[in-house]
Every structure is written in structure tokens, then in C-alpha cells.
């Protein structure tokens, strides 16, 4: 009979068994959690009642506010519901449709859009940077609070955009050329995000059906997401390409009444079929830009060629496309936290069998497309000495105690032109407002403005769209502080008589005055 094990050996054996038991239990627990999170996750989420419970859990959180640049104006906030409601908080948009395309919406049925989507982790309090704040809420027994998002939007400028477009269909976008800060973005017709965030489920569904079935697409921002023929505002790009290629502002170009395009029955004419610059035989680049001569710019485009024109457009953030088969934007040159469509310009292979189309593209027709925000960024690049800034919508995020948990710095998206070309382009744009196609709008205006008008065809039998892009102050010792672009659809109040100088430029002028105090 062997020696009886001592007390120490028995204890070690029991500890070993206990340890193995714990290892087994942890293995079972790990397997169960893995099964639930990986293999059974979809089935569990799909179980009746779970979606409702998840939505109710989201609305137990006091979602963070969205504030304007002045840090006082509330664009979106969460308010506590009456006790009889199954949801603790409701999302509220105090200004209705004014900021709708910026804030987006937060709906218990249709999800999120705009800033509500792009910065959801901060607003909902789930971002890793908010872990300390969440623990404090738990210890103190407070409802979980999301972070406050501080935007770049300037209320007086947004309100000026709404006033300017009152009764019209169109859009306005304004940025700070130095930082890319989105100062204003307004589109009409718009929508009231309160219709999607409050009321009964049936009321929310009716509002959604009305909005998505509206042919004017009020849920889509015409300032940032829709694309339109830019017309003569695209001469900002064509003139930049000419200057970069070595053609100076005083370079001379033929000035016929009509540009006869080879291999086609089409001709390119000036606006209204008029002669440019009084009918002189040759016209300078400066004069052709000032008077927006289509014929001359068609010739410039043909002289530069498809590659040079496409290269300049791409440098300004346009996506190369091969219409009509491919018009998507595979690699956007300009990123934005909000839904944003970069402009489109045909890639050089498109022109191989369509050489005359180069002339139309040079004046912003054919398959050239853009929107007000992109055009404002282009004007801003000229104002900024050639640096194209990416749009910035949010400057910082702060937790419930006011601590900054995330900051967003300005970012350069590219350098499409040299500082020398930027200075020359500024002079060309000043000529437009000081004796050119927008001179009547800016006569006596106390702030020097550099601008470009545009009038673009808009489909058979429809009035043209009117454009204007500008920045200010320009040509002085002051640094440009605002770049703005305006589109008024279907000619606004003037219909077929509309021009960019008469319809869109006054709206841009009033925005510049509202921002700079002119």
C-alpha cells in the first residue's frame, strides 16, 4: 500500500481540477458568444421584435446637438418625449427645411442622412473617444448623452440664400476659399426633416412617400448632389487651361460670328447669335472672357485639344467619364463628409470620333456637368492662389462636458493651377463684374468681386438655367473670404430671357453683402 498523499498534494489536485473546470466553462462561454455574434447574428436580428427593441434602445440615448458656426444656433437637437411615449427622446429640427440638406434627418423608420449619418457615432455616443463620458453617465445615473457637433454653417448666409431663391427653383453654395469651410448650402425645393422624425409611424410613412415620389426630388440637394450643364461658367476651367499652356490674357484669337465645326452640320454661336467685341477680326482672351464669347472659347478648346482640356478639368476635381455608356465617378477627386457629386468631364477617348465636341465642352456644354458646391470650390481655388480645398462641414466634436474629443483640420484636395495663373484668372474675373456680363449687377457695389456668368441649355423647349460663380474681396490687399456659386433653374422669373448676369448674379451679390457686411 503506497504512501497516503499529503494535504498539499490534495489541495494542488483540487486546484488543478477547478482550473480545468474554469477553462472548460470559459471555452463554452466563448463558443456560445461566437455562435451568437457570428453564426446566429442574422437570424437573431431578424427575429420579430428585435428591430423594434433596437430602435427603442437608440431613442433612449440623448443624441448630441448639431450647432452652426456661431455655436449658438441649433440645427438639430433631441428633446424628451412625454412619459406616455414608447420613445424617450425625439429628434427636432428647429428651423425646418432651412438646413435640411446639411443636417439630413434621423428617423426611427427611414434611418439617417446628412450629418446625422456622417457623424452618427459621435451624435449617438458610441465613438471610442466618448468612452470616458459614457462611464461618467453610467456612474451618475444619467441617460447616455451623445456629443455635440460644431459645423461651419453661417446662419445669416444660409438665410440670405433662402431669401435669394424665394419662389425659385435652384441652389446656392458658399465656401471659405482658405479652408474649404462650407458656409452655406441651400436648395429649393427642399423638405422639413421634422416630418420624418416625429409623429406617428403612419404619418412618417406618408411624408416619406410624398417626398420620394415628388418629381422635383426634394430629398436630393441641388447644391451638392445634382449635376447640371455649367454653360459659360466652365470657361473658368478653359481659360485656366489656356493660361497654363502659355497663352497670355492678351493673346489674340479669331472672332467670327459663327464657328463652323468640321465633319458636322453643327455650328457654335455666341449668346443670341451676336458678334463679340464689336465684331473685330481678332479678340483677346481677356475680352473674350469678359464678354463670354462662345465662338472664341470654342476655338481655344480646339487649339488646346482634348487632353489638355481634360487634364485641367480633372485637376479641378472633375471625374473623367466615357458617356453615354459610363457616367459614374469611379474615383472622386474631392471628398466630402456630406453626399456630394464631383463634376463630370469626358475623357479624351470620348473625343476621338467627336472632335467638334471639344468646342462645345470648352463652353460647358455637351457632356460637361457640375453643381454649385463644386463650382464654388473651383472659384475658391482661384481665390486661394491655386490651392483647391476639400469641403469641410464640421470643425470639432465636444462631449457632454464640453471637452473637444475630435477636431477636423482643413485639407488641400489639389493644386490645379499655379499662383501666377490664379492671379491672371482673378483679373479676368474682375473684368466680368467691372465692364463685362455682370457689370450692371455690381455697379456701385462697395466690395470688389471676381465672377463669371453662365447660361446653359436645359432641354428642348425649356428655358435655360442661369449660373454665376464668384469670390470676394478680390484684387485688393484683403484676403478673399467667400466663394459662392448660384444656379437658378428654368430661367427663374425671366424664363427664356434669363442670363446668369441678370438672374443668378444678384443672388450671389446679396450673399457676399450678407457675409462681408457690404
Q: Are 81 and 87 in contact (CB under 8 A)?
A: yes
- Which residues, 6 or more positions from 190, have their beta carbon under 8 angstroms from its beta carbon? 97, 100, 101, 218
- Residue 302 sits in a domain whose CATH number is 3.40.710.10
110 within some domain = no
Buried residues in 254-278 as b, exposed as e (16+ CB within 10 A): ebbeebebeeeeebbebbeeeebbe
Q: Is 34 a catalytic residue?
A: no
Which pLDDT score is estimated for 24? 67
CA 296 to chain centre: 32
Q: How far apart are CA 16 and CA 282, in angstroms?
A: 99
Candidates 274, 464, 484; CA nearest to 375 is 484
For residue 412, how many other CB atoms are within 10 A of its CB?
Answer: 12
Which pLDDT score is estimated for 37? 45
325 within some domain = yes
274 within some domain = yes
445 within some domain = yes
Q: Are 319 and 345 in contact (CB under 8 A)?
A: yes
SS3 at position 216: coil
180 within some domain = no
| Enclosing domain of residue 443 | 231-394+410-516
**How many independent structural domains does the chain possess?**
1
468 within some domain = yes
Handedness of CA 162, 164, 167, 169 (dihedral sign): negative
Cell output for 39: 453564426
Write out pLDDT tens, residues 192-226: 999 999 989 999 999 999 999 999 999 999 999 99
34 within some domain = no
458 within some domain = yes
Q: How far apart are CA 285 and CA 382, in angstroms?
A: 17
Interior angle at CA 20, CA 19 and CA 26, nearest 5: 90
Q: What is the mean pLDDT of the chain?
A: 90
Annotated catalytic residue within 107, 133, 232, 361: 232
Q: Is residue 153 classed exposed, middle or buried when 0-12, 13-18 and 19+ CB atoms within 10 A define those classes?
A: buried
Q: What are the Cα distances from residue 179, in Å, to 148, 397, 411? A: 22, 18, 7
CA 414 to chain centre: 17
CA 133 to chain centre: 32
Write out pLDDT tens, residues 448-491: 999 999 999 887 789 999 999 999 999 877 899 999 999 999 99
Main-chain phi, psi angles of 109, to 5 degrees: -105, -40
pLDDT tens, N- to C-terminus, the chain (518 residues): 455 566 666 667 767 776 667 676 666 655 554 554 445 545 544 544 444 556 667 778 889 999 999 999 999 999 988 776 778 889 999 999 999 999 999 999 999 999 999 999 999 999 998 887 777 777 766 677 899 999 999 999 999 999 999 999 999 999 999 999 999 999 999 999 999 999 899 999 999 999 999 999 999 999 999 999 999 999 999 999 999 999 999 999 999 989 888 767 788 888 777 788 888 889 999 999 999 999 999 999 999 999 999 999 999 999 999 999 889 998 888 999 999 999 999 999 999 988 899 999 999 999 999 999 999 999 999 999 999 999 999 999 999 889 999 999 999 999 999 999 999 999 999 999 999 999 999 999 999 999 999 999 887 789 999 999 999 999 877 899 999 999 999 999 999 889 999 999 999 999 999 999 85
Cell output for 509: 451679390
Amino acid at each position: 500500500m503506497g504512501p497516503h498523499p499529503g494535504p498539499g498534494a490534495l489541495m494542488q489536485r483540487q486546484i488543478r481540477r477547478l482550473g480545468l473546470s474554469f477553462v472548460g466553462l470559459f471555452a463554452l462561454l466563448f463558443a456560445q458568444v461566437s455562435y451568437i455574434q457570428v453564426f446566429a447574428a442574422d437570424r437573431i436580428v431578424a427575429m420579430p421584435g428585435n428591430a423594434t427593441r433596437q430602435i427603442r434602445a437608440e431613442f433612449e440615448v440623448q443624441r448630441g446637438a448639431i450647432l452652426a458656426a456661431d455655436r449658438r444656433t441649433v440645427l438639430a437637437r433631441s428633446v424628451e418625449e412625454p412619459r406616455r411615449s414608447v420613445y424617450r427622446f425625439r429628434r427636432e429640427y428647429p428651423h425646418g427645411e432651412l438646413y435640411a440638406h446639411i443636417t439630413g434627418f434621423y428617423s426611427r423608420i427611414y434611418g439617417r442622412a446628412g450629418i446625422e449619418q456622417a457623424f452618427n457615432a459621435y451624435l449617438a455616443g458610441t465613438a471610442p473617444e466618448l468612452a470616458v463620458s459614457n462611464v461618467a453617465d453610467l456612474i451618475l445615473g444619467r441617460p447616455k448623452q451623445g456629443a455635440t457637433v460644431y459645423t461651419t454653417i453661417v446662419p445669416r448666409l444660409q438665410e440670405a440664400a433662402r431669401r435669394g431663391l424665394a419662389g425659385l427653383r435652384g441652389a446656392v453654395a458658399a465656401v471659405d476659399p482658405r479652408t474649404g469651410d462650407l458656409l452655406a448650402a441651400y436648395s429649393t425645393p427642399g423638405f422639413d426633416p421634422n416630418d420624418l422624425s416625429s409623429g406617428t409611424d403612419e404619418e412618417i410613412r406618408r411624408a416619406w412617400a410624398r417626398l420620394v415620389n415628388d418629381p422635383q426630388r426634394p430629398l436630393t440637394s441641388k447644391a451638392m448632389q445634382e449635376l447640371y450643364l455649367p454653360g459659360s461658367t466652365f470657361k473658368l476651367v478653359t481659360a485656366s487651361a489656356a493660361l497654363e499652356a502659355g497663352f497670355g490674357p492678351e493673346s489674340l484669337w479669331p472672332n467670327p460670328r459663327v464657328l463652323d465645326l468640321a465633319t458636322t452640320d453643327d455650328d457654335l454661336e455666341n449668346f443670341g447669335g451676336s458678334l463679340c467685341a464689336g465684331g473685330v477680326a481678332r479678340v483677346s482672351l481677356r475680352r473674350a472672357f469678359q464678354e463670354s464669347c462662345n465662338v472664341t472659347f470654342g476655338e481655344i478648346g480646339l487649339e488646346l485639344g482634348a487632353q489638355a482640356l481634360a487634364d485641367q478639368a480633372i485637376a479641378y476635381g472633375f471625374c473623367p467619364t466615357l458617356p453615354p455608356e459610363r457616367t459614374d465617378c469611379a474615383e472622386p477627386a474631392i471628398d466630402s463628409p456630406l453626399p456630394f457629386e464631383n463634376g463630370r468631364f469626358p475623357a479624351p477617348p470620348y473625343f476621338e470620333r467627336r472632335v467638334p465636341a471639344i468646342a462645345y465642352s470648352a463652353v460647358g456644354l455637351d457632356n460637361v456637368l457640375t453643381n454649385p458646391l463644386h463650382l464654388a470650390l473651383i472659384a475658391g481655388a482661384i481665390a486661394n492662389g491655386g490651392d483647391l480645398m476639400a469641403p469641410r462641414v464640421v470643425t470639432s466634436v465636444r462631449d457632454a462636458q464640453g471637452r473637444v474629443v475630435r477636431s477636423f483640420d482643413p485639407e488641400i484636395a489639389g493644386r490645379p493651377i499655379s499662383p501666377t495663373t490664379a492671379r491672371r484668372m482673378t483679373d479676368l474675373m474682375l473684368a466680368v463684374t467691372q465692364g463685362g456680363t455682370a457689370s450692371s449687377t455690381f455697379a456701385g457695389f462697395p466690395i470688389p468681386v471676381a465672377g463669371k456668368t453662365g447660361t446653359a441649355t436645359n432641354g428642348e423647349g425649356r428655358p435655360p438655367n442661369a449660373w454665376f460663380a464668384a469670390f470676394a474681396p478680390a484684387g485688393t490687399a484683403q484676403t478673399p473670404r467667400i466663394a459662392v456659386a448660384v444656379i437658378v433653374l428654368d430661367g427663374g422669373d425671366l424664363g427664356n430671357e434669363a442670363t446668369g448676369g441678370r438672374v443668378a448674379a444678384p443672388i450671389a451679390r446679396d450673399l457676399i453683402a450678407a457675409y462681408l457686411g457690404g
